[in-house]
Amino acid sequence: MFSILLGALAGCNSPSPSHKNSDHSNGELPRLSFFVVYENAGDERRLVDSERYPRLGYIGAQPDLELRKIKAVEKAGSLEIDFEMGATDGAVLHQLTRQNVGRRLLLMLDGEPLMAPYMREAISGRQIRLAVSSRVQLDRVLAALLRMAQTE
């Protein structure tokens, strides 16, 4: 069973601009980072305030979870991607989402905001479905995730 993270939220309806590091020509693996979004500033938190996410909230200096390798990935629907993470990463994501139900979870691909859904319940298991907002975004995310899966 897949947990679903929806990207069709306010501010997610346009493709994101290409990121200068997203071609990975230097051999570096893509990074899929997860940040809990807080309403208040705290120690070492920074405000996410962009055109796509105006005054979204505050995130930590380091991701709460960062993936560089995944087990498997496949296109699931016209604008959906399924992927499977390792057992350790799945356990970390479960704990993170269990402790932060009601908050937003910002997903960033190579430092670029991808989506920021509300966590309505804990995400259990290792399989995730990402719903993106455009074909351009689908192609970029799928390419990065396929590269992450090839390193496993």
Q: Output the tens digit of pLDDT for each of the chain's 152 residues.
A: 445 554 433 333 333 333 444 555 567 889 999 999 999 998 899 999 988 899 999 999 999 999 999 999 999 989 999 999 999 999 999 999 999 999 999 999 999 899 999 999 999 989 999 999 899 999 999 999 999 998 75
* Closest to 22 measured CA to CA, from 14, 13, 30: 30
3-state SS, 30-73, equals CCEEEEEEECCCCCCEEEECCCCCCCCEEEECCCCEEECCCCEE
Contact by Cβ (8 Å): 128, 105: no
pLDDT at 51: 86
Q: Please give the DSSP secondary-structure letter assigned to residue 26.
A: T
Q: Which fold has domain 3-13+30-150?
A: Gyrase A; domain 2 (3.30.1360)
